[in-house]
């Protein structure tokens, strides 16, 4: 399953809800959700722990738009829009978390 999170973890609890599912699969951080992927923030330890169950991606264009593409947490893979499409196509189910 692909979980798509578009809200900052400082604004909404969407990412916590995904991490609480424990289902595994992949998480794609887009829009303000990419803030969770930066080094040194409160969510870095949570993302690192989640990497045992989830593969975590962040949309490159959104990282660049926010000026944080050079601060991505180790283990988070940046993907372009074609990679976003591939993730959606490769996962049987997709869930957008608002």
Direct distance between the N- and C-terminal alpha carbons of the chain, in angstroms, rounded to an integer? 16
**Could you state, in chain order, the average pLDDT of each consecutive group of 10 residues for the chain (98 residues)?**
95 92 90 96 92 96 97 97 97 93
Considering only CA atoms, which of 41, 34, 40, 35 is closest in space to residue 57?
A: 34
Q: What's the pLDDT score for residue 72?
A: 97
CATH number of the structural domain spanning residue 65: 3.40.1260.10
Q: What's the pLDDT score for residue 82?
A: 98
Q: What's the pLDDT score for residue 24?
A: 83
Q: Is the pTM of this model over 0.85?
A: yes
Residue 86 domain boundaries: 2-97
Classify residue 49 as exposed, middle or buried by CB count within 10 Å of its CB (0-12, 13-18, 19+): exposed
Residue % of the chain over a pLDDT of 90:
92
Total number of domains constituting the chain: 1
């Amino acid at each position: 399953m692909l979980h798509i999170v578009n809200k900052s973890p400082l604004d909404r609890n969407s990412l916590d809800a995904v991490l609480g599912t424990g289902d595994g699969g992949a998480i794609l951080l887009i829009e303000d959700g990419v803030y969770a992927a930066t080094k040194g923030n409160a969510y870095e330890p949570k993302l690192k722990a989640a990497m045992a169950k989830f593969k975590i991606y962040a949309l490159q264009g959104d990282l660049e738009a926010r000026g944080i593409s050079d601060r991505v947490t180790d283990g988070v893979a940046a993907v372009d829009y074609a990679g976003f499409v591939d993730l959606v196509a490769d996962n049987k189910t997709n869930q957008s978390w608002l």
